[in-house]
Chains A and B, each alone.
Chain A
Amino acid sequence: MRKTRARLAAIAAVSALALVTACSSDNESDNGNGAGGSSGGSEGGSDLSGTISGAGASSQAAAQQAWQAGFLAANPDTTVNYDPVGSGGGREQFIAGGTDFGGTDAALADDELATATERCTEVIEVPVYVSPIALAFNVEGVDELNLQPATIAGIFNQEITTWNDEAIAADNPDVELPDTAITPVNRSDASGTTENFVEYLLAVAPDAWPHEASDEWPVSGGEAAQGTSGVVQAVSGGDGTIGYADASQVGDLSTVNVGVGEEFVSYSPEAAANVLEVSERLEGRGEYDFAYELARDTTEAGTYPIVLVSYAMACATYDDAAKAELVKAYLSYVISEEGQAAAAEAAGSAPISDTLRQELQPAIDAIAAG
């Protein structure tokens, strides 16, 4: 009796498992052009096929998802994976050869560049994702706020502690400021967003900001939250809070107009993309290495200087010809007008300009089998 029951149970379990594992996703069985929202691919079939994997900055995750969808629509036989492990992991895996391409919020450091060049003969590093970092605040009765860089530094360094401080009032004569305490909110995880924001403070208000640039928040005692969504949640959950976060995720929160030169600029994709126009490429790196020294202290009108620039990394030569083709096609799509528009829609990034695209295209065209 027992034995039969056991056997029956075993058979039932195994067959249930087999039944479940046998089928594949509905949207994959019909060649992958499933429920995609954006269809920006070119008409006609493509002969590309295969799989490429990338890993890196989580800031790019939503944009990468959009790029994959768009690329897939045009090349149904391909698979692109992007694993948002973080910039550090992305660089490490790319250098070690674990991934075919990578994403990073900070350009490769010199020693990393050297080892990467060994793998790749020539490293391609192009800015693909530009996102404004907004300063979101939640203060009862205040909808609009102008802040000078030094004031921003003072607030985040906890020198300016109440909202009706003179430094804030001076720039906002028309706003009735309450006497609530300021709770600055920062990222608790190491992130490219923090690094870019701290670099900005360091560049524009070196007197009010005594801390070094780092991807970890240097001031203790504030409110700290994990990830962009955590910061946004903390800002909207408290009273008298102010935090920095990727502009696309800020939602209904009011944001600060940042002082640039003589005027106050509110964030917009165009104003953020302008930063790359006024910035210089880093010297002494490879021909195809488009790492930028961002001009955060710019006084150019209509430029929003607090931005996160995230790069895509690839090799100029791959052992596998098919892989080289695929990486080249994918990155071409990423920087194309459609690709950048898809990312802007899905992730709120700032599309790169046509002039920049023309500069970048030769670098991607250089990808070949070797």
Chain B
Amino acid sequence: MSTSPPSLDKAPEPGEPPVVLERPALTHGSLPRRAAPLALLLWTALGLALYLGADLNPVVAGLIAAVGYTVVICGWSRSVEGPRKAHDRLVTAIVTGAFLVALLPLVSVLGAVLSRGLERFDADFFNNSMRGVVGEGGGAHHALMGTLIVTGLAALISVPIGLLTAIYLVEYGRGALARYITFFVDVMTGIPSIVAGLFAYALFELFFGAGVRMGIMGSVALSVLMIPVVVRSTEEMLKLVPNELREASMALAVPKWRTVLKVVLPTALAGIATGVTLAIARVIGETAPLLVTVGITSSDNFNPFDDRMATLSVFSYNQYATPGIPPEPFLDRAWAAAFTLILVVMALNLLARLISRLFAPKTRA
């Protein structure tokens, strides 16, 4: 989409004698094509100059540049293009500005994780566990595996439940039950993560006695957190599938369950895949519930049904919270583990994109 509206008509020629009936202008005037970028450039330069030359606080300088640009472009547009266009330009400036402001902390977080995480991001980190390691060295192989196993199991539990529930809510649910479920799914999104962990612990304590620690307990705790996110995002996506598609399918006497499986789900697949990835991303970095259910160990343990396992988030937390001396290698490991977590999610994201590209029907040109 281009910003400048196509000019269909030329403005009345200046030399033309006035006609009896005054001809209304068919178009408004418009700013020159390069007006906005140029104004932006100018004000950015001014902001930079204020920051570098006048030693102004970078935040204040940025603010001055942003406000200056907005005022100039709006005023100019109002006088040339009229209030509606000016309003549009104002909103564009605000939206873009808000976006940039929001991006700052996010980029800063990523930058911090990247710069500090790369310190220990080497082969040793991925091939070694912490067994028998004092001070420097060691790695997070055990924790990486633990995270994959625990989160994988959590996804295995929550994706089917979440997906089916969303289908129920959108396609079948009428009446009180559906209302209750919708409501309580919302409530579930608000369960504090540590409470989910305590719940899973209490549940397993009933069967296995006090002090039990197992990987699967962590999966259950994470599922409690993950299910509502899967339901909510899937539900939103299913709702957005146009009713016409369902009606067309039903009109061809396709059974409802096949309509759902073959028409509704594929149409919403891209959104669902994103939703599930988001749900996994939401829980994969959880620390508190894993702390009380899975615990931590420094050795390999890949059996989720027996004893403590290491997970990246708890590993990272532990390295930060209980460092030895000197603390640097511990902190380096903590950041590297966080960086690894982000990479895992990146891989998941790619997978989700692949899935939606392979299976989703083309909905947009």
Asked if residues A342 and B296 are in contact (CB atoms below 8 Å), the reply is no
Main secondary structure of the interface of A (DSSP, over half): helix
**CB neighbours of A61 from chain B (8 A):** 318, 321-322
- Taken together as a complex, chains A and B put the C-alpha atoms of A53 and B298 apart, in Å, by 11
Kindly count the residue-residue contacts between A and B in the assembled complex, taking CB atoms under 8 Å apart: 157
Segment of B3-11, B92-100, B101-109, B351-359 in the binding face: B351-359
Asked if residues A229 and B127 are in contact (CB atoms below 8 Å), the reply is no
Judged by a CB distance under 8 angstroms, whether B160 is at the interface is no
- Taken together as a complex, chains A and B put the C-alpha atoms of A61 and B152 apart, in Å, by 29
**CB neighbours of B142 from chain A (8 A):** 25
Q: Distance (Å) between the CB of A18 and the closest chain B CB?
A: 12
Asked if residues A2 and B359 are in contact (CB atoms below 8 Å), the reply is yes
Judged by a CB distance under 8 angstroms, whether B212 is at the interface is yes
Asked if residues A34 and B325 are in contact (CB atoms below 8 Å), the reply is no
- Taken together as a complex, chains A and B put the C-alpha atoms of A227 and B358 apart, in Å, by 48
Asked if residues B131 and A34 are in contact (CB atoms below 8 Å), the reply is yes
- Taken together as a complex, chains A and B put the C-alpha atoms of A251 and B318 apart, in Å, by 19
**CB neighbours of B291 from chain A (8 A):** 85
Asked if residues A84 and B322 are in contact (CB atoms below 8 Å), the reply is yes
- Taken together as a complex, chains A and B put the C-alpha atoms of A122 and B136 apart, in Å, by 39
Segment of A62-70, A147-155, A198-206 in the binding face: A62-70
Judged by a CB distance under 8 angstroms, whether A32 is at the interface is yes
**CB neighbours of B327 from chain A (8 A):** 229, 249, 251
Q: Distance (Å) between the CB of B57 and the closest chain A CB?
A: 20
Contact digits for B189-220, partner A, Cβ 8 Å, 1 yes 0 no:
00000000000000000000111110000000
Judged by a CB distance under 8 angstroms, whether B44 is at the interface is no
**CB neighbours of B129 from chain A (8 A):** 25, 27-28
Asked if residues A346 and B324 are in contact (CB atoms below 8 Å), the reply is yes
Asked if residues A69 and B132 are in contact (CB atoms below 8 Å), the reply is yes
Closest to B307 in A: A53
Asked if residues B299 and A81 are in contact (CB atoms below 8 Å), the reply is yes
Main secondary structure of the interface of B (DSSP, over half): loop
Judged by a CB distance under 8 angstroms, whether A317 is at the interface is no
The count of chain A contact residues (Cβ–Cβ below 8 Å) is 56
Interface residues in B296-336 by Cβ distance below 8 A to A read: 296-300, 302, 307-308, 318, 320-325, 327
- Taken together as a complex, chains A and B put the C-alpha atoms of A25 and B145 apart, in Å, by 10
The count of chain B contact residues (Cβ–Cβ below 8 Å) is 49
- Taken together as a complex, chains A and B put the C-alpha atoms of A34 and B138 apart, in Å, by 9
Asked if residues B300 and A249 are in contact (CB atoms below 8 Å), the reply is no
Closest to B135 in A: A37
Judged by a CB distance under 8 angstroms, whether A6 is at the interface is yes
Asked if residues B209 and A97 are in contact (CB atoms below 8 Å), the reply is yes
Q: Distance (Å) between the CB of B121 and the closest chain A CB?
A: 16
B132, B292, B297, B320: residue with the most chain A Cβ atoms closer than 10 Å? B132
**CB neighbours of A342 from chain B (8 A):** 134
Judged by a CB distance under 8 angstroms, whether A254 is at the interface is no
**CB neighbours of A98 from chain B (8 A):** 209-213
Asked if residues A55 and B295 are in contact (CB atoms below 8 Å), the reply is yes
Asked if residues A62 and B323 are in contact (CB atoms below 8 Å), the reply is yes
- Taken together as a complex, chains A and B put the C-alpha atoms of A53 and B135 apart, in Å, by 21
Q: Distance (Å) between the CB of B348 and the closest chain A CB?
A: 11
Asked if residues B213 and A83 are in contact (CB atoms below 8 Å), the reply is yes
Asked if residues A6 and B359 are in contact (CB atoms below 8 Å), the reply is yes
Asked if residues A24 and B134 are in contact (CB atoms below 8 Å), the reply is no
Judged by a CB distance under 8 angstroms, whether B149 is at the interface is yes
Judged by a CB distance under 8 angstroms, whether A355 is at the interface is no
Select one of B128, B152, B302 contacting A26, CB under 8 A: B128
- Taken together as a complex, chains A and B put the C-alpha atoms of A17 and B296 apart, in Å, by 22
**CB neighbours of A66 from chain B (8 A):** 134, 324
Judged by a CB distance under 8 angstroms, whether A88 is at the interface is no
Asked if residues A62 and B210 are in contact (CB atoms below 8 Å), the reply is no
Asked if residues A72 and B132 are in contact (CB atoms below 8 Å), the reply is yes
**CB neighbours of A93 from chain B (8 A):** 210-211
Interface residues in A340-364 by Cβ distance below 8 A to B read: 342, 345-348
Select one of B138, B210, B298, B354 contacting A81, CB under 8 A: B298
Judged by a CB distance under 8 angstroms, whether A79 is at the interface is yes
- Taken together as a complex, chains A and B put the C-alpha atoms of A227 and B323 apart, in Å, by 11
* A28-B131, A34-B132, A96-B209 known; A79 vs B358 contact (CB < 8 Å): no
Contact digits for B131-149, partner A, Cβ 8 Å, 1 yes 0 no:
1111111110110010011
Contact digits for A258-281, partner B, Cβ 8 Å, 1 yes 0 no:
000000000000000000000000
Contact digits for B329-365, partner A, Cβ 8 Å, 1 yes 0 no:
0000000000000000000000100110011000000
Q: Distance (Å) between the CB of B144 and the closest chain A CB?
A: 9
Ordered by A's residue number, 19 sampled pairs between the chains whose C-beta atoms are within 8 Å are A6-B358, A25-B141, A26-B141, A27-B128, A28-B300, A34-B128, A34-B131, A37-B136, A55-B211, A58-B322, A65-B130, A66-B324, A69-B133, A73-B132, A81-B307, A98-B211, A227-B321, A248-B325, A348-B324
**A interface, CB within 8 angstroms of B:** 2, 5-6, 9, 13, 17, 20-21, 24-28, 32-38, 51, 53, 55, 58-59, 61-63, 65-66, 68-69, 72-73, 79, 81, 83-85, 92-94, 96-99, 227, 229, 248-249, 251, 342, 345-348
